[in-house]
Each structure stands twice: as structure tokens, then as C-alpha cells.
Structure 1
Amino acid sequence: MLLTPGLYRQPVTPVRPVGALARGDIPVMLGYTRKGPPGVPVRLHSLREFEDIFGEALDHGFLWHSLKGFFENGGQTAYVLRIVSESARAARSERVDAAQGAVEGARVVWRATASFPWLAIDPRKLTSALRGESASWIQIFEQVLKEEGVRSDDPGAFGNGLVLKVVRASRVRTETTDEVVDGGKASSVRSLAGLEAGSILELTQTAASGLTAHAVRIPAKVDTARQRIVWSDNLTADGLDPSRPIRVSSVEFDLAIFAEGKLQQSFAALSPNPAHSRAMATVLPASCRSVAFSPAVVRTNGDSEAEEKAAARMKMIDWTDEHFWPQEGDYPLAGGVDGLDRITRENWLSALEPIKRLADAALIVAPDIVLPEAGLPPPDAPLPAVLDCCVLEQPEAGFLLGKVVSYDDDGKEIPLGGVAVDIAGPGGIATTGSDGLFAVSDIGLSLVSIRLNKQGYEPLEFQAQPLPFMPSQPVVMSMAPLTSPKVFVADEIVEMQAALANPEYVGPYKVALADPPASDMRADQLATWRSRLGDSARIGFFAPWLNLPAKDSTGNPLSLACPPSGHVAGAFAAAENATGIHRTGANLQLRFVEGVTLAIDDATQEGLNPIGVNAIRAFPGRGIRIFGTRSLSSDPEWRYLTTRRIVDAIEKSLERALQWMVFEPNNLITRHSVQTTASILLDRLFRQGVLSGVKAEGAYSAKCDLENNSDASRDEGKLVVDIAVAPTQPFEFIYFRLGHEFDAIQVTER
């Protein structure tokens, strides 16, 4: 503390804080998933997060296996970007009634749609440290909220297994007293529990004559102090007598969502009135994990209204009219399409655009580019001979009438005949007729599980409730066609893998890990493929494929061939987190791997290593290891991926650290401050072993003076900083010399 007035000299170091070196361990992993937001990268920290958002592994796809390999081998953070085609559609369901409410001639229907809730992964809820690390991801998230809202459609056949069940409920049940308040414009009630100004209330009263008066009102005000409900007008207008007790019950609905017959989520006592504190329009968008359920304005021709016009009409709805309430019953979602068989090269290239905005991403992995040709599904097991669409036995217990359908590209319903129907319990086997119908009996009255099988379609598990009589309307079940992702030809794969490393597509400071296009490639084929990839310091080519532990549909163990890029990214991340970015994943043992699809020995690698093919080899007693870390550059200065990644990290860190100098005076103090700031970062990296050299002078240099900032350059408002670094390079060849000199054995390392 200063106590005596005067002038005090305090030197100030002309430097700005630099911060930590930019991370190089975060990959963007692109591919196909069962569900999840399409075309938007999502930041993940575990395989469990991936499964919650994007679902389990696809039968034809490597993204899940690659991500598991990434986390198993030491990765901590990754972005996942789902690729879809224009033909992908979200499953939906709506109940259409001729008596449905209408506004200005347009009907209002309640529609259930497979939907993704963005607020469920809100990165703004992270701790302050993680928020700073995820700044670019938060910006993308906020833009999505602005453009699409809190939910977006979730395309995919997974939605065809969802069922929304809506049941009418009454959270509030009370009655008024015989006190006449304000001439019938208010009512004293025995309890106000659960009542609020937005509650939809049904009022009923039975007269002495036996006639029942009925009305639906929304309170204008709930006076808790005097325990009264204030109405907008007199109750006598609805034929009610305020001097006699009136039964009051609220209008609410219980919602339950079932996925393939299993309860996934439930919501109790939701109001259709948006003004209610537990309105469907408020609770479901924020809390429902898989389905959006909301009213939609539909014109008489069945088309949805334009968004602005529909919003205006929604404000005109009278929520006391029961025709605007959701209909009770089941809403089985159908019509969901993955569209993977229509994926194109353009879909992949256009999906790369958001990667430009991911400032913290440094690696790019795309294992689903090299999918193999998918074989035909095995034929269905023979079924017992049954009559087409018939009751198998005399009815003794429950009856079930069902209809199996699919949907074409325009959403038109197509009945499916010849579907094998297997219902748990005795007497539960049937096949559908040409109209898609089947009927069974003697299956018990409890909830039953149904399994549907038809060659060329995804198997479907469904749960239904039999009735003690044959119903007049069938339970509709939707099956999705069995589609496999498109297999790209060699020219398309080359173009797409090159785009992954092109800054014009993915932005600066990123390195792509390329996979061989097939699991059975020989060494000469790998060399040929490497030549097709061209010359690039931003591509690392790793081969061969890996054999992973897996299980078939019956639980028996099998081996799955998978591209190696995800495992390689995990090894790179583990090495960086343990030592630094100057340590690659080479010579680290890979986990979640059983073997390799091509045995590479020393002689084979002699032909692959010089041309930039990084071999993954199995060593007896040492496991499976990455045995190379070269890029595809012919320039010796960029031979190693280590060099490219170190320089990228330095560039990114200095770009971030020197943002302050824009509009600063171009004078000696500013130039010295810039040079000192850069030197501090480079000196720290030198001491950490990221830069090579015996002394700092040989490891780096930073120059910002009048020599490289001429009068003409300064007159144009430019400030130039020249930085040179000598990145650490890996030792690929270690020589041990064992010799004999007189009576001593001498060991030297070169």
C-alpha cells in the first residue's frame, strides 16, 4: 500500500497472456447413425453420450465401432456429425377426425413427430472452464436454436417403433359452494389446489329435474386469498345455477412414449392450453427425449400452413372447445426413412461445411466412406402353414386385429402382405394377407409382444393390447424397408478423402486420417491407393483394417473388420494428453482390437513406409501397434504428421493470442510486445520438448522490427511477424552398435 504521495516507477513487461497450446487431440467423426440431429456436429465425451443421442451401432456402418475405438484408446473428446440424404424423413402420426376443430376453414390436428431436443445437450450449462473450451460448439448450438428452435425433426426408421399414448386426466376435482359471489361472475370453491388462471375447467351441475348442465371455462383469475375463481362472464349464461354446488374438474392429459413396446418416458397432467404452467407446448419441447407433440394447422387439401400463418391461426384457438384438444388413444409413429441407400458424394461434401466453424477440432475421421458391399439379408426361417388373415383357433380369450404397412417416398401407405407375425404365447402365429391384415385369438388379455418379419424389411417388435372381442379397427404397425448405405466407387472415395484435408472444405488447422477402401487389400494395392491420394501434408494414411471383437444376432462371438482411423485418432489423443502434441500415437498398443486384416512384416513395410503408408502391425508379445507417423507429402520438411500438427497448433495459438494487436499503434512498443508474446509461447514449447535444438536460438525465432516492417508496409497499416520453428521429429531408425575393444564391451547409440 502506498502511503506517501509522489511518483513511483513500476516497469511493465510488454507482453500479453498467451494461454495453453491449442489442442490437437479432438477429432470430427463423420458417418451414419440410427438417429440424432443431421448435419450438425455434436460434442461428445463418451460412447454412452453417443448412444443416448445417436443410438446404437448400425448393422452397416463403422461410426459406432470407430468411436468406441477412439475412447478405448485414450480419446477424451470428439465431435460426431451425422450424414443423411434428402430422402430421409422423420416418423410421424396424427389422428384425423371429421369433428376436429377448425380456424378460418383450416383444421387443427395434433401431430406426433420423431424429434430431437436440443436443450437436452445444452452446452451452455457446462462449467466455465469447459464453456471456454467449447466456445465454437456453443456458437453452432445457439445458431441452431435461432434457426430451428428448441427441437428439430429426427429422421430415420427408428421412429417407426415409437408409440405415443394419450389418456385424458383430471388433476383437479373440487366443487363450488352455494355462496353466490358477484352475481355469478365468481365462485367460492372448496379447494384451489392445482388451479391457476390457465386451467381448462369442466363445470357440471345436475338440476332437480335430472337434466345436467355442462360448460367449459378458463378462469379469468384465481383469487387465492379469498379462495375464489373469477369468471369472464356470469355462469348463468351456460345454464348453471351459482346458488347450488357445481362440480369442477380440470382438463389435462397423461402422455406416455413407448419404444418398441417398452415405456421410454411419461408425463402426467399436461394441459393443452399454452397459457398453463404445465402446458404441453412448454413441458414437452424442453423435456421429451424422442417425440414432439403439438397442434398443427392443416388446410383442407391436407397440406400444412405456412409457419407464420399457422402461428397466427393458433392464437385464435378457443381452448374451451374440446374439438381442439388432443384425441385420446395411441399415436403409432410411421413413415420414418433413413435414406442411406440414396446417400451421394454431394451429401458428404456439403456436410463438411460446419466443420469450418469448429476451431478446436484438429483431426477428421470418416470410416463410413469406405463401406464394403453389403450382402443380401439371410432368408427368413420357414413358417408353419397357416391360412391367410384368419383366426387360428376358436376364441377363448383375447382377440387381436392388426395391419402391417410401409410407406413410399411420398408418405403414401402401402399394405404389406406375407409378413410373418409371431405373438408371444400360444396360438400367436399368423401371416398378413395382401391387404396387410392379420387376426389371431386365444392369446390372453394381457399386453402382448409382437415380432414382425419380412424379407427386405427391418424386423419390428411391437406391443399391443388384445380385447375380449374382435375389434372393428386394426392396430396399425409400420415396417421400414431394409436399406444399406450406398457403397462409393474408387473415384468418389479418392475425391472425398482429399476433401477431408482441404481447408476450403473443412477450414484451417485440420489433419485427415484416411482409411484403405477395402479390408482385403494387399501391399501392392495399398501402394497404388496411396499414389491416387496425391501429395498432401494434411493426410495420414493408415493400413490395414482392424479385426474387432463383436457378436452376431444370437450372441455368438465373431470378428468384425473395421477401418483403423478411429483407433488411430484415439492413440494420437492418448499420446498428446500424456506427453504433448509432439508425441504421436505411433508405437502405442491399440485396444479394442483382436487382429489385423493384413500381416505386414519388415520386408513389406520397407516398400510402404517410404511412400507414406503407415503400417499397423501385430508384434508377438507386444500386441498391435501403429508403426508409422508419416504424411503423404513429398516435401522432406513435411514428411511427418508431427511437424504438420505442431505447426498447426502454434499457428492457431498465436492467432488466438495476438488478436489484441488489431488497431493498436504500429510503433516500437507494439512491435516489441508482439515479438515478446510470441517468444514466450515458443520458449515454453522448447522447454517442453515440442521444439528441437540444443539451445533456444536453434529451436525458434520471432522477429518483428523495422527490418520486416518497412515504412511502406506500416503506411498501409500492416504489422508483420516472422516466426521460424524447428519442430521435434520422431526417430524412426534406432541403431545400436555392439563392439569389442580390448577387455571391454562398448554400447553406443546413434
Structure 2
Amino acid sequence: MPEYLTPGVYVEETSFRSKSIEGVPTSTFGMAGLTRYGPLPYALPDTPPVPVRPVLVTSYSEFERAFGDLSSPSDDGKANYLAHAARAFFANGGRRLYVARVFPWARDDQSGEIDMAQVDAAFARRAVTAPGAAGAGAPVAMPTWRARWPGSAGRRIRVAVARRLSRDRIVVDPVLGRARLVGVSELAAVVVLPRGTVPKRGEPIDPATVFVARRGADRVLGLDDGHGGVTAIDPQTSGYQLELDVMVASADGRTDTYTQLAPHPDHPRSVSRVLRAVDPADELAQVYLLPGSTEPPPPPAPAPVEPTAGQLAAALLAAGSQGYLTDGTEGNDGVPLAPEDLLGAEPDDEDPARPGTGLNALAELDDIALVATPDVVRMTDVASVKTATDNLIGHCERLRYRMAVVDPPAESSLSQVRAFRAAFDTSYAALYYPWMQIIDPTQRPDPGSAPATLMLPPSGFVAGVYARSDGNRGVHKAPANEVVLGLTKFETAVNSGRQAVLNPEGINALRFFPGRSNRVWGARTMSSDPEWRYVNVRRLFIYLEHSIDHSTQWAVFEPNNERLWRDLRQTIEDFLLVVWRTGALMGGKPEEAFFVRCDRSTMSQNDLDNGRLICEIGVAPTYPAEFVIFRIGQWTADARRP
């Protein structure tokens, strides 16, 4: 309580209203799987750990910039299912997508540990050649351009470096005859030539003519003499500030340009700082500059030395025309994708540099409401598909506030998809059948022949429909009887007779209706419990539980008395009243739609003594009108109305 010790007027702020509950997002989608390129947590012997979290993208163009195009991400030649799912998600109304890239590192057959030699080989690179030695026979430890992320897509990256020279920055005082640098920042590289000499376009840079601008003891800019001292500027010279423009282009059409970079490593805009492995200026940069090794070689070879700013600039300019990066593999050495790869490793709570991977990386994000792993369909054996799907369902059940969209195995017949569905029982997942056919966007159409087509699993399309339905109507509306966009046809034509077999078993059909297009025609979970039969009921409860959980954290450690109970009741009732008014709950009045109890009837003295506050909430959800029945009969004109 405040203390009143001195006589006077005290103005205090207080609140006379209940706290409000804000609804959580319901359409944020999360996927884990293989991509062509992109962010991935890793650790190399010569690079600090790169702790990458799942990347949020809000459009397919952002996805392409971060994770590459639709080309196959592995050597098996199969489609890039995750990229196609992202494309379908945004095409059908999705807005927010988290992607956790999966990279199946090769492991030692005996120990099961990651083979670091294979890890190193997964990164494409191109060495920068030194133009000359920095001492009498001493080798120069020149850096290497290296793909920032592993994968064979790194071989499609090309780095080009161009120079940028300013006008003459050396100004001579006509009275005193002294020269000084103008318009040059400290640690900038300056090309010093005889007075009046202008560098020719395209002429190579001589490292011996490149100096670094430094401030001496008198705080006047001079030129570094290479031995830790600063020399005055010769009035008979001209100085041109040297800056580098780095252009990084990949074969899929992405081009990044980093301008006005300095060769000196301590400059705020140095090329080694802007393009570094950990926390670069562009978090989605495709390459980084790996410093050269300065470990002393076995005697009698001399120890390598760091390159000067002139040597580095000259080498980068010369290496800029050497073509694409080389090497770079998929890392798994031909090993197929395993369920453990998609599940990923759990984060190390004691080491922030070792975050989770795969689905375990998505577990660290609180706002994801939908999850899928389209690459499960890459697995050919039934046991692996079952295990990977169990991992996805277990992920949602453990976190409670998200739902899985499950894909059936490839080329599943009616009997096969029923057998697949029979292996699961959960209200936190929904299965959709069949696959979708699209025109393959990776193939150039051949004039005179039919366009190439591609079969894709439905999870990306369906997740987009979920997001669109949530935005247009709300999470309480069953995401069914909604048009699916971006496909030519379904792999299998599901008619009423076939759906009569699928629907009771919790397999949601995707059907074509003449004049009404392709539609989602089912809204059931994979649960045998009638209470949780429908997708919208489970998702409504996820929304309510998550919103209440998120917005009532203020109550922890408050005095557990009638005042707190009253505030919580009012807060939750106000929230449920808004939910009821949107049509999410049954009942003609609020008393019929929900109740909130938080008083002595829900808590015993033992609960209070042990610090427990128990609040009971009951809601009456709306169920979808899955079967609309009209009864029509004959009656005569003079008959009494029934």
C-alpha cells in the first residue's frame, strides 16, 4: 500500500473495469519439411553456431526468397511438396506461414552421430585467390565465399564484385601546401596515385596503392602506414575512396545487391561484417565471407597472415568473375527422409545456440494454430508413414492449441485410405482425400501437346481454405462447402456412394460438383469420440482455451479471494458474450449459451490452502448442419395443416 506521511493531496490511478480477453490467431500455419534452400540451424568447426528459428512469410514471393523455388529439394527427383503446399496455402487465402526447414544430415553408421565431413561438403563455396604475398614468402589467409545454407542449390549461386571509386578526396591547401582527406570516413579504403592520375575503368586494383584512412594523435585523418602508425598525406598524390558492390544471383532468378561495402574488417560497412554467417545485415543472405584460416601449418612452412585491405579488395574483384560456387550436396548421401528428420531435435534449454529443429522448432512458437508435414508422402514404407503421422499428431496433442492437417499416402485407393485412417484416433487432426492435380509450373509447356501435370497432397490447399473461412466467417464455421482454388481436378472422383463409406470413418472428401467447382465436402476429425467429431468444434475450443490462457496470466499470484474470483468471472463472461454474439454458441440468450463458475462451489479449503483457483466454464458450441433434411408429403387443399 502507498504510504501517506506528509500532509498533501495525492492523486492515484485505479481501474474499475474488468480486464479484457483478446482472441488469439486461428489461421497461422506451420510446416516442417524439405526446401530447395533456406535458413537452417547448424554448427561448423570454422563457423560460430547459427541459431535459426522458423521463418515467418506472408506471401509466396517471400517464401521463394527465403527457401528457393519449386525445384526438387532432393536427389530423388520428387516434387517439392512443401513449396507447392506454401503456394497453395497463399492461393487459397492463407496469410501467415512459419516454415522450419529440415535437412537430413548424413550420420555415422556406427555411432549415429552427424558426419561432420558430410556437413562441410553440403555447403557450396568458392575460394578467393590472393593477388600476392603480404611478406617475404608468407602466405595470405584469404577468405572464401560460402553458401550460407547447405544444399545442392548453393551450386546455382553466383557472386560478382564490382568496384566503386569516388572523385579525388585529397584537397591541398594552396597557402600552406598541406593535404587532407575530405568526405572520407575512418577505416575507409583509399586508392592513392600520383597527383592527377585517374584510375581507368576495368583496370585491376594494385594492392600496393590501397591504404586505410585513420585518425592520428591530432585527430586528423591520415593514411595507415601498415605498421600501426599514421602517415601524413603527400600533396603530390590523389586519393579515391574505394568501395565494393557485391551482387549475389541464383539461377532461380533471385538477385541481391549489397552496395558501398568497405574491405577493412573493422569498418561499420565492411564486406565481412555485412555478409557474415551469424546475424548479417540481411537475415536471408545467400552467402557469407568465411575468413581464411590462420592456423600455423607444419614447419618449416611460414604461418599465414591476414590480408590487407588492398589485397582483399583486389582478390574479391578478381574472384567476382570466376562463376558459380562449387561443391554443395544434400548432406544425406542418398539416405531417404526419415520420420526423425521431420520431428527434429528438441531445443537445448541451456544453450541458446542450439534451438529445436523440424516440428520441435515449431513447438517454440505460440501463435501457430495449424500444422502439416507434406513431406511425409515421400516415405514409401507404411511403418515410416505411420510413425511420421504419429509424430505430427503427438505434436498437436502435446501443445494442445493447434490442429494437424494430415495427408493420405500417395496413390491411395479407397481401401488403402480407409486402412490408413483406421490406425489413428485423435480430435487434433483431420484427414482429407484425395490428392490434387495441378499444371506443373516447373515445366515449360510444349506447343501442340498437353501441359505437364503434377499430383500434390491436399494439406496446403486445405490449410488455405481454413484460413479463408476463419477470416470470412470465424473459427466456429466448419471449413467445408468451400471452393478449393489452384487445381485442375482431383486425383480420384469421389461420388456420394464413395463418400458414404468415407465420411462415417472421419475421412473428409474433396469433391467436384458441376457448376459449383471443386469443394471441401467434409469437416470431421480423426476421433471416435462423438463430442469431438467435428473440426470446427475442436478448433473453437482450442480458440477459447488458448485465448483465456493467454489473457488471464495476470491472475497468477494475485490474492486468492472473492474479489479475484469476481474479476475472473466478469472477464471470461464478457469474452464469451462476444463469442456468442458472433454465432459461435447455441442459445437464444447468454444464459443458454455458456456459464462461468468461480466461487466456493468450485474450490474447497484444501484447494485454497494449496494455492489453487478453479474456474469452471461451460459452453454450448454450434454443430455444422452436415445433413440438411427436407420432408415433403402430399396433402389435400381442404386437409387440416399438420
* Same topology, TM > 0.5: yes
Q: Which residue of 2 aligns with 1:248?
A: 239
Match for 2:67 among 37, 46, 54? Answer: 54
Q: State the Cα deviation string for residues 430-479 of structure 1 (Å, max 9, x = none).
A: xxxxxxxxxxxxxxxxxxxxxxxxxxxxxxxxxxxxxxxxxxxxxxxxxx
Per-residue deviation, 1:109: 1.6
1:508 to partner: Cα distance = 2.4
- Paired residue for 1:698? 592
Name the structure 2 match of 1:158. 153
* 1:254 shift after superposition: 4.2
Deviation at 1:542, TM superposition (A): 0.7
Match of 2:116 in 1: none
* Residue in 2 that maps onto 1:346: 340
Distance (Å, rounded) in 1 between the aligned partners of 2:233 and 2:544? 81
Cα 1:718–1:61 shift into 2, 3 Å: same
Amino acid at match of 2:431: F
Structure 1 counterpart of 2:347? none
Deviation per residue, 1:603-653 (Å, 9 max, x gap): 211221111111111122222111111111111111111111111110000
CA contact (8 A) 1:173 1:247 kept: yes
- Alignment map for 1:351-750 (pairs within 5 Å): 351-371=358-378, 487-503=379-395, 507-519=399-411, 521-532=412-423, 534-551=424-441, 553-556=443-446, 557-743=451-637
Separation (CA, whole Å) in 2 of partners of 1:502 and 1:262: 39
Where in structure 2 are the equivalents of 1:231-246 lying within 5 Å? 245-246=236-237
Matching residue of 1:45: 58
Give the 3 Å change call, closer, same or farther, for CA 319–706 of structure 1 in structure 2: same
| Paired position in structure 2 for 1:375 | none
Match of 2:141 in 1: 108
Post-superposition CA distance 1:580-603 (Å, at most 9, x none): 101122111211121111122222
Cα distance in 2 for partners of 1:653, 1:48 equals 31
Residue 27 (structure 2) aligned to one of 7, 25, 28 = 25
Q: 1:610 to 1:272 in 2, by over 3 A?
A: same
Give the deviation of 1:367 after TM superposition: 1.5
Distance 1:72 1:745, change over 3 A: farther
- Which whole-Å CA distance do the structure 2 matches of 1:746 and 1:492 have between them? 65
Give ranges in structure 1 of 5+ residues lacking alignment: 116-153, 207-213, 303-312, 372-486
Check whether the contact 2:532–2:538 (CA below 8 A) recurs between aligned residues.
Answer: yes
Q: 1:554 to 1:233 in 2, by over 3 A?
A: closer
* Shift in CA distance, 98/252, structure 1 to aligned 2, threshold 3 Å: closer
Matched AA of 2:214: A
Give 3-state SS (helix, strand or coil) of 2:511's partner.
Answer: strand
Q: Contact conserved, 2:165 with 2:240, CA < 8 A, in 1?
A: yes
Q: What is the TM-score when the length of structure 2 is the normalising length?
A: 0.78
The question of whether the paired residues in 2 share the 8 Å contact of 1:272 and 1:326 is answered with no
* 1:196 aligns with one of 162, 182, 185: 185
Q: Secondary structure at the match of 1:53?
A: helix
By how many angstroms is 1:361 displaced? 0.9
DSSP 3-state at the match of 2:98: strand
Cα distance change, pair 109–722 in 1 and its aligned pair in 2 (3 A): same
Give the letter aligned to residue 96 of structure 2: T
Counterpart selection for 2:97 from 70, 78, 82: 78
Partner-residue secondary structure (3-state), 2:543 = helix
Aligned counterpart for 1:296 among listed residues 292, 296, 306 = 292
Contact 1:223 1:229 in 2 (8 A): no
Which deviations, in whole Å up to 9, do the C-alpha atoms of 1:40-60 show, x marking residues without a partner? 322122111111211111242
Determine the C-alpha separation between the residues in 2 that align with 1:241 and 1:52: 46
Say whether the 8 Å CA contact 1:365–1:514 is kept in structure 2.
Answer: yes
Within 2, Cα distance between the matches of 1:281 and 1:715? 60
Q: Report deviation, 1:578.
A: 0.7
How far the C-alpha of 1:177 sits from its partner, in A, is 4.2
Give 1:720 shift.
Answer: 0.8
Report Cα offsets for 1:514-566 as digits up to 9, x if no partner. Answer: 111112x221221111112x211111011011111225633241322111111
C-alpha distance in structure 1 between counterparts of 2:155 and 2:15, whole Å: 67
Query: Which residue number corresponds to residue 221 of structure 1?
Result: 215
33-42 or 698-707, larger mean C-alpha shift: 33-42
Query: Residues 262, 224 of structure 1: CA spacing in aligned structure 2 closer, same or farther, 3 A cutoff?
Result: farther
Q: 1: CA distance between counterparts of 2:135 and 2:384?
A: 51
Which secondary structure does the structure 2 equivalent of 1:79 belong to? strand
Identity %: 27
Distance in structure 1 (CA, Å) of the matches to 2:33 and 2:467 = 20
**Structure 1 pair 91/734, CA: closer, same or farther in 2 (3 Å)?**
same
User: Which amino acid in the other structure matches residue 518 of structure 2?
Assistant: I
Distance 1:635 1:262, change over 3 A: closer
TM-score of the superposed pair, with normalisation by structure 1: 0.67
Distance 1:505 1:267 in 2: 45
Paired residues of 2:131 and 2:315 also in contact (CA < 8 A): no
Q: d(CA) in 2 for partners of 1:239 and 1:286?
A: 33
1:111-190 equivalent positions in 2, closer than 5 A: 111-115=144-148, 154-167=149-162, 170-173=165-168, 177=172, 187-189=178-180
Alignment match of 2:85 (pick from 51, 62, 66)? 66
Would you say how many aligned residue pairs link Structure 1 and Structure 2? 559
Distance 1:335 1:301, change over 3 A: farther
Q: Distance in 1 between matches of 2:640 and 2:62?
A: 56
The Cα shift of 1:710 comes to 1.4
* 1:164-190 deviation line (CA, Å, top 9, x unaligned): 234555435355649897xxxx9414x
Single out whichever of 51-60 and 535-544 deviates more from structure 2: 51-60
Distance 1:280 1:6 in 2: 61
> Separation in 2 of the partners of 1:745 and 1:578?
45
Q: Which amino acid aligns with 2:410?
A: A
In structure 2, do the counterparts of structure 1 residues 229 and 683 end up closer, same or farther at CA, with 3 Å as the change threshold? closer
1:380-407 CA distance string (max 9 Å, x none): xxxxxxxxxxxxxxxxxxxxxxxxxxxx
Q: Taking structure 1 as reference, are residues 300 and 555 closer, same or farther at Cα in structure 2, changes over 3 Å only?
A: farther
Q: Which residue of 2 aligns with 1:16?
A: 19
Change (3 A) 1:702 1:34: same
Superposed CA RMSD: 3.9
Contact between 2:169 and 2:183, CA under 8 Å: does it hold in 1?
no
- For residues 141-183 of structure 1, give each alpha carbon's deviation from its aligned partner in whole angstroms, at most 9, with x where no partner exists: xxxxxxxxxxxxx1122221222234555435355649897xx
Report how far residue 689 of structure 1 moved: 1.1
Q: What letter corresponds to residue 46 of structure 1 in structure 2?
A: S
Shift of the 643–259 alpha-carbon distance from structure 1 to 2, 3 Å rule, reads closer
1-structure distance, mates of 2:641, 2:281: 69
Alignment deviations for residues 216-252 of structure 1 (CA, whole Å, 9 cap, x no partner): 6434339999xx74467899x999995x623434444
